[in-house]
Structure 1
Amino acid sequence: MAQDRQELDRLIAEITAQQQRLVLRHFDNDDAWSLGCLLVELAHERALPIVVDIRRGAHQLFHAAMAGTTPDNDTWVERKVRVVERFGAPSYLMGLRALAEGTTFPVKYSLSEQEYAAHGGAFPLTVHGVGQVGTVTVSGLPQAQDHALVVEALEQVFDQQS
């Protein structure tokens, strides 16, 4: 159990550091297109059955559903996005924090599981000097893989903007 707790604490610290580091210089419609196309390209290269969704506020700027996805993936996107919008943190991080406290996300916050999903894959889009402006979400893989794919793409965008 101690090893599991150490791994949980390590993951929480890692994702917290990712969120602090991946602050973009700018984010507009063209940036959403580039990020979305990058995620679709990665999905094609790896034959990943994912949905990609990018929003600035409530405005959906990019949406793509790869082969092997279903409308259920879109439902997961909506639920993950609600977590990021409400808490300003990656959906995976919110679920892990609740787990570290010995509870679940829905119990901790008294929120409906039909409306909120604190599972990996949704990440806040944050702009330096502005704050959170939107979300990027992937759905279709196990939660750690959804999260990792989003972070991989965001790191490439961040590096291009630096």
Structure 2
Amino acid sequence: MTDSPRLAELRQQEEDLVFTSFDHHDAWRLGSLIANHAISEGHGVAIDIRRHNIVLFRCVLPGATADQEEWIRRKSASVLRFEHSTALLSEQFSARGHSPLGGGWLDHGDYTLAGGSFPIRVRGAGVIGAVTVSGLASDEDHQLVVDGIRGYLKTVGA
């Protein structure tokens, strides 16, 4: 079975958007870049960058709701468990015709496949964290994160 164009695009994003290193300063700069873009577009989103259970960056913009906290927690848990973006996971499981959230495999209260969370993958180390945006439609959340990471990697010359 061959990948759909969307699945191939999502896989390529994960291959391309890899950091050479990532520390607390990178989290601040990346999060600020995403936040500034969201502000300029008038998006009421929440932004979270975490290394497993340690929050390295958090920003909640006007218009975001308390629900975004839950979405962020569940999206980032999915990325950290499967080491792929929630958009890629959603597309993969949809193509297979089933969801890990059904049948008791994963608890809906702990995980979601809604787009908007992306792995922080460091060359030679693997996935060390997640960047998550919540507040827009799933595809828009995902694109905000991808654009932010792509822009950040250009600024650091990665």
TM over 0.5: yes
Structure 1 stretches of 4+ moved >2 Å: none
Aligned to 1:131: 126
Kindly provide the amino acid, as one letter, of the partner of residue 73 in structure 1: Q
Kindly provide the amino acid, as one letter, of the partner of residue 86 in structure 1: R
Distance in 1 between the 2:24 and 2:104 partners? 33
1:108 shift after superposition: 7.2
Matched, 1:64 2:59: yes
Identify unmatched segments of 5+ residues in structure 2. none
Distance in 2 between the 1:135 and 1:28 partners? 12
- As a proportion of its length, which structure holds more helix? 1
Cα deviation per residue 1:57-111 (whole Å; 9 max; x = unaligned)? 3210100111111111010000001100110000111111111111234127721
Given the superposition, is the C-alpha separation of residues 109 and 135 from structure 1 closer, same or farther in structure 2, using an over 3 Å criterion? farther
Aligned to 2:50: 55
Distance in 2 between the 1:133 and 1:148 partners? 20
Aligned to 2:10: 15
Q: Is the 8 A contact 2:33 2:152 kept in 1?
A: no
Distance in 2 between the 1:32 and 1:102 partners? 36
Identify unmatched segments of 5+ residues in structure 1. 1-5
TM-score normalised by length of structure 2: 0.93
Which residue, 93, 102, 114 being the options, matches 1:98? 93
Distance in 1 between the 2:34 and 2:20 partners? 19
Aligned to 2:20: 25
Across the aligned residues of Structure 1 and Structure 2, the Cα RMSD in angstroms comes to 1.6
Kindly provide the amino acid, as one letter, of the partner of residue 38 in structure 1: L
User: Percent sequence identity over matched residues?
Assistant: 34
Distance in 1 between the 2:142 and 2:111 partners? 16
Distance in 1 between the 2:104 and 2:114 partners? 15
Number of equivalences: 156
Distance in 2 between the 1:9 and 1:105 partners? 20
Distance in 2 between the 1:152 and 1:44 partners? 14
Q: Is the 8 A contact 1:98 1:108 kept in 2?
A: no
Distance in 1 between the 2:104 and 2:149 partners? 28
Distance in 2 between the 1:106 and 1:49 partners? 28
